[in-house]
Amino acid sequence: MADDNEGQQKLLKAILSSLDVSVEIASDGAAAAAAAEAQRFDLILMDIAMPKLNGLAAARLIRAHETKAGWPRSNIIVLTSHDNKADRARALEAGADTYLTKPLSVAELLGALESRFFDFV
């Protein structure tokens, strides 16, 4: 998970931990890209507005590294407070698989995760 907001980090970690998912936290885009180059993640929750490197630039770096390393694509879910078609298009162009807007509901996040990873039934 890459988010510079400590409250958002705690919320997302609590949700993911309740699903018995291992969570690693990066507080900026540069740290997220470095972590994703060091090891492959099944899922990356990526805030867009972060210091040092924004989430879209980090997603591009992650996608480039995956291609170079021959790794399968991680699922990148972009989280943002910007809810418009242009931002959504930029996120998908940068390599995001899913685009969710904040404030994020637990049901919305679980729905996105269920469609990619889990069977909650």
CATH number at residue 99: 3.40.50.2300
pTM confidence score: 0.89
Distance CA 76, CA 20 (A): 19
| ∠ CA 30-69-56, rounded to 5° | 35
* Contact (Cβ atoms closer than 8 angstroms) between residue 2 and residue 55: yes
Give the number of domains in the chain: 1
In a domain, 112, yes or no: no
Residue 36 lies in a domain: yes
- Examine residue 76 and state whether it is found in any structural domain, yes or no: yes
Residue 114 domain flag:
no
Question: Is residue 84 one of the residues assigned to a domain?
Answer: yes
The residue range of the domain holding 33 is: 6-105
Task: Give residue-wise pLDDT tens across range 3-49.
Answer: 999 998 998 898 888 888 889 999 999 999 999 999 999 999 999 99
Query: E strands along the chain, which residues?
Result: 43-47, 75-80, 98-101
- Per the domain annotation, does 41 fall within a domain? yes
